[in-house]
């Protein structure tokens, strides 16, 4: 029981929540609540939404009513259902995109950082080249190359996810590579070399775990970026077709002309969904980042009565 509890309190978000206080705690909790709502909505989409994501109605551009809670679009879609189903698409894209890019990025980063030499140089130049490219343009090119206009749910999600992956791999690659190069000079890695461990063993056993500690942070921050990229692709018409899945970017694009004629409901709801989701994930990521850094973490003032007083000696200097 004891070990289980300590394991639970060492889990990423839980550990930070325990350390936090004041404004930082408020931001973290706001982030957790928003992200939790987002995930919950995605999971319960079939129960929450009255209609399917691709269901069309005869009433177009109908204002909010009891039949259509948030009205309908010019294409005859129910805005409420589309917004709710949109969370599911977003979650799927995030999971696929981030999982793919973490996997490839970490492996390439470890190899490149540890082995070094010409492999490192080539990979760094490649990563820099991709990095220098405008993100959205690259994602567009990838999406055209992958989907070629086909658009059922999974191919749409995968083309969006893979085009985001291409942009994210260099980020993970760079973080892991920098950590690996730093760790390579650490005495514990040298002591493994001296013991006679093979390169694969050193990378897998000694460097991998130490280099990936910052990943949960990049993960949350990248998740919000993935949503924005997906929405951007959809807005520009390279995303998922409305007939295969609900996607906020596409809906926003088609709400553009409505806004001028006073039809506000088609744009506000998917827009607010994007803003809140991104805000939630960013709050979560940023406050976790701050809380993980002892210099940025706020603490209660010492000397005041605050529960446990451990008489532990301090390691000076």
Partner 1 sequence: MSRSTHTAAPQGEAAPRPVLDVDNLKVTFATDSGDVFAVKDVSFTVAPGEIVAIVGESGSGKTVTAKTILGLLPETAQSSGAVVISGNDVISVSPHQLRQIRGRDVAMVFQEPSTALNPVYTVGWQIAEGLRAHRPEGKRVGRKEARGLAIDALRKVGIPEPEKRVDYYPHQFSGGQKQRVVIAAALALNPGLIVADEPTTALDVTVQAEILELLRDLRDQYGTSIVLITHNMGVVADLADRVVVMFQGDVVEEASSEVLFAAPREEYTQKLLAAVPHLGRNSASAGFTERAFQDKEVLVRATDLEIEYPGRLGSPAFRAVDKVSFTISAGEVFGLVGESGSGKTTIGRAIAGLNRTTGGSLQVLGYEMRDYKERTFRPYRKDIGFVFQDPAASFNPHLTIGECVAEPLLIHTDMPRPAVTKKVEELLESVQLPRAYAKRFPHELSGGQRQRASLARGLALKPKLLIADEPTSALDVSVQAKVLELFRDIQAELGFAALFISHDLAVVDILAEWVGVLLKGKMVEQGIGSQIMGDPQDIYTKRLLASLPVPNPAEQAERRAVHQALLAAK
Note the residues at the interface with partner 1 (CB under 8 A).
Answer: 19, 186-188, 190-198, 201, 205-206, 209-210, 299-303, 306-317
We find the least distance from the C-beta atom of residue 216 to partner 1, in angstroms, to be 16
* Closer CB to partner 1, 63 or 298, in the complex: 298
Q: CA neighbours within 13 Å on the CB side: how many for 23?
A: 5
* Closer CB to partner 1, 103 or 188, in the complex: 188
* Closer CB to partner 1, 24 or 163, in the complex: 24
Residue 272 and residue 248: Cα distance in Å, rounded? 10
Identify whether the C-beta of residue 143 lies closer than 8 Å to the C-beta of residue 118.
Answer: no
We find the least distance from the C-beta atom of residue 92 to partner 1, in angstroms, to be 32
* Closer CB to partner 1, 47 or 301, in the complex: 301
We find the least distance from the C-beta atom of residue 268 to partner 1, in angstroms, to be 43
We find the least distance from the C-beta atom of residue 176 to partner 1, in angstroms, to be 16
DSSP secondary-structure letter at 158?
H
Contacts of 267 (CB under 8 A, 6+ apart): 251, 252, 255, 256, 258, 259
* Closer CB to partner 1, 68 or 206, in the complex: 206
DSSP secondary-structure letter at 175?
H
* Closer CB to partner 1, 148 or 299, in the complex: 299
Residue 92 and residue 99: Cα distance in Å, rounded? 10
* Closer CB to partner 1, 1 or 195, in the complex: 195
Among residues 155, 169, 134, 164, which one has the least CA distance to residue 229?
Answer: 164
User: Per-residue b/e over 221-251, b at no fewer than 16 CB within 10 Å?
Assistant: bbbbbbbbbbbbbbbbebbbbbebbbbbbbb
Residue 28 and residue 217: Cα distance in Å, rounded? 13
Residue 206 and residue 58: Cα distance in Å, rounded? 62
We find the least distance from the C-beta atom of residue 308 to partner 1, in angstroms, to be 4
We find the least distance from the C-beta atom of residue 293 to partner 1, in angstroms, to be 13
We find the least distance from the C-beta atom of residue 222 to partner 1, in angstroms, to be 24
We find the least distance from the C-beta atom of residue 206 to partner 1, in angstroms, to be 5
Identify whether the C-beta of residue 174 lies closer than 8 Å to the C-beta of residue 123.
Answer: no
* Closer CB to partner 1, 189 or 263, in the complex: 189
Reported as type and span, the H/E element at residue 22 is: helix 22-43
Contacts of 126 (CB under 8 A, 6+ apart): none
């Amino acid at each position: 029981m004891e070990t289980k509890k300590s394991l639970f309190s060492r889990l990423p978000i839980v550990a930070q929540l325990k350390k936090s206080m004041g404004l930082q705690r408020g931001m973290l909790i706001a982030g957790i609540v928003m992200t939790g709502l987002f995930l919950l909505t995605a999971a319960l989409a079939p129960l929450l939404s009255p209609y399917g994501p691709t269901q069309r109605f005869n009433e177009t551009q109908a204002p909010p009513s009891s039949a259509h809670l948030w009205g309908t679009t010019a294409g005859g879609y129910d805005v409420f259902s589309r917004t709710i189903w949109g969370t599911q698409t977003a979650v799927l894209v995030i999971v696929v995109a981030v999982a793919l890019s973490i996997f490839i990025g970490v492996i390439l980063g470890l190899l490149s950082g540890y082995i070094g030499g010409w492999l490192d140089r080539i990979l760094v130049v490649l990563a820099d080249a991709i990095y220098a490219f405008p993100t959205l343009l690259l994602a567009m090119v990838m999406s055209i190359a992958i989907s070629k206009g086909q658009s059922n749910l999974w191919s749409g999600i995968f083309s969006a996810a893979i085009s985001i992956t291409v942009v994210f791999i260099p980020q993970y690659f760079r973080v892991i590579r920098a950590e690996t190069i730093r760790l390579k000079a650490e005495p514990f890695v040298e002591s493994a070399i001296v013991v006679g461990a093979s390169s694969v063993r050193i990378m897998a056993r000694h460097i991998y775990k130490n280099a990936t500690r910052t990943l949960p942070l990049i993960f949350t921050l990248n998740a919000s970026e993935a949503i924005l990229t997906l929405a951007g692709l959809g807005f520009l018409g390279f995303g998922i077709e409305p007939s295969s899945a609900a996607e906020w970017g596409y809906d926003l694009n088609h709400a553009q002309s409505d806004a001028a004629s006073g039809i506000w409901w088609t744009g506000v709801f998917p827009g607010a969904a994007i803003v809140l989701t991104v805000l939630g994930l960013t709050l979560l990521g940023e406050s976790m980042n701050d809380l993980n850094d002892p210099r940025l973490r706020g603490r209660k003032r010492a000397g005041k009565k605050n529960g446990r007083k451990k008489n532990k000696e301090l390691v000076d200097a």
